[in-house]
């Protein structure tokens, strides 16, 4: 007999390679074993000889830390590349008092400006309108990170948002592949208390659901759902190894 205290340890290993991916800051895991019973009733009211038709072993993990590597290897079977996008958010800038009426906001992390995410007047919150050339008052053009405004907007306080690229981080250009096999990965779930552990080593899992809420004034706790399947070790396959202290 054993007790389990706390959310335990969960690690996923993708056959694509790379490190075993520990689910960081695990908040909770639920395990659900669904058994679909067939009731062979015959002529009897309650039936007899229950048989199993289908079984499913489902896991839902809530984890506070988000790993892009885990997300993409375990859900999409994708391999990341170096480099990432970032957002410069709510950058306050002022249109020069005299020409040229341009702004070239600094890009952090030695990055490169990538895409405009909008310009607003800081005082009123009204959005300026992007145009391809010759901006009138309330309009602007932006080319390669250089914002150009009309002379009538000189001295205006603005709030800018834009995307940029940087060498740090990882990114995945997610493709839209043909229908087919889901990415499969090994999951190891460990619960413990007082020196005793249960270890569920699941040979082949597939991810089936991800919920991520970004709440106001609180941390996001993504919910990650996966299911265990039999591996290719035999005709029947093996679900995995389940270890207990006694």
Partner 1 sequence: MAQPDRETVYAALQTLLVAALGPSPGSATFQTIQRRLLTITNAVPASAPYLLQVQATERSETKKGVPTVHTFTVNLLAYAYFGDGDAVVPDIVLNGLVTAIENACGPNMATAFQQLGIPVSSVVINGIISYFDMAATSGTWSLARVPVEIVATY
Indicate which single residue of 31, 64, 117, 136 sits in contact with partner 1 (rule: CB under 8 A).
Answer: 64
Contacts of 216-221 spanning 24+ positions with Cβ under 8 A: 219/64, 220/64, 220/66, 221/27, 221/62, 221/63, 221/64
Does residue 220 interact with partner 1 by CB under 8 A? no
Does residue 121 interact with partner 1 by CB under 8 A? no
Contacts of 3-8 spanning 24+ positions with Cβ under 8 A: 3/193, 3/194, 3/196, 4/191, 4/192, 4/193, 4/198, 5/192, 5/193, 6/191, 6/192, 8/189, 8/190, 8/191, 8/192
Residues in the chain: 246
Indicate which single residue of 65, 120, 139, 225 sits in contact with partner 1 (rule: CB under 8 A).
Answer: 65
Nearest distance from residue 22's CB to partner 1, in Å?
8
Does residue 155 interact with partner 1 by CB under 8 A? no
φ and ψ at 3, to 5 degrees?
-105, 160
Give CA torsion, residues 65, 21, 16, 185, to 10 deg: -100
Does residue 194 interact with partner 1 by CB under 8 A? yes
Nearest distance from residue 145's CB to partner 1, in Å?
34
Does residue 24 interact with partner 1 by CB under 8 A? yes
CB-nearer residue toward partner 1: 3 or 178: 3
CB-nearer residue toward partner 1: 5 or 178: 5
CB-nearer residue toward partner 1: 6 or 32: 6
Select from 32-40, 127-135, 145-153, 189-197 the region that touches partner 1 (CB under 8 A): 189-197
CB-nearer residue toward partner 1: 13 or 192: 192
CB-nearer residue toward partner 1: 3 or 46: 3
Nearest distance from residue 210's CB to partner 1, in Å?
19
Q: List all residues 6 or more positions away from 205 whose beta carbon is below 8 Å from its beta carbon.
A: 12, 59, 184, 185, 186, 187, 226, 227, 228, 229
Does residue 178 interact with partner 1 by CB under 8 A? no
Q: What is the CA radius of gyration of the chain?
A: 27
Indicate which single residue of 15, 18, 20, 25 sits in contact with partner 1 (rule: CB under 8 A).
Answer: 25
Does residue 19 interact with partner 1 by CB under 8 A? no
Verify cis geometry, omega within 30 degrees of 0, for the bond prior to 208.
Answer: no
Query: Tokens 């015959």 correspond to what residue?
Result: 42
Binding site for partner 1 (CB under 8 A): 3, 5-6, 24-25, 64-65, 193-195
């Amino acid at each position: 007999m054993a007790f389990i205290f706390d959310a335990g340890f969960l690690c996923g290993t993708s056959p694509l390679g790379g490190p075993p991916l520990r689910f960081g800051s695990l908040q909770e895991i639920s395990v659900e074993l669904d058994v679909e019973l067939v009731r062979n009733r015959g002529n009897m009211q309650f039936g007899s000889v229950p048989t199993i038709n289908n079984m499913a072993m489902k896991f839902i993990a809530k984890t506070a830390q988000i790993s892009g590597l885990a997300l993409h290897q375990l859900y999409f079977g994708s391999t990341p590349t170096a480099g990432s996008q970032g957002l410069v958010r709510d950058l306050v800038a002022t249109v020069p008092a005299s020409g040229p009426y341009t702004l070239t906001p600094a890009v952090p992390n030695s990055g490169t400006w990538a895409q405009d995410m909008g310009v607003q007047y800081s005082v009123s919150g009204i959005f300026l309108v992007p145009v391809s050339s010759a901006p009138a008052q309330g309009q602007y053009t932006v080319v390669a990170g250089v914002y150009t405004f009309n002379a009538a907007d000189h001295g205006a306080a603005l709030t800018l948002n834009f995307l940029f690229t940087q060498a740090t981080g990882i990114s995945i250009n997610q493709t839209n592949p043909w229908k087919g096999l889901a990415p499969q990965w090994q999951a190891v779930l460990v619960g413990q208390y007082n020196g005793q552990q249960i270890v569920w080593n699941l040979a082949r899992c597939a991810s089936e659901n991800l919920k991520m809420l970004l709440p106001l004034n609180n941390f996001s706790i993504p919910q990650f759902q996966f299911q265990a399947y039999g591996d290719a070790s035999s005709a029947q396959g093996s679900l995995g190894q389940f270890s207990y202290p006694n």
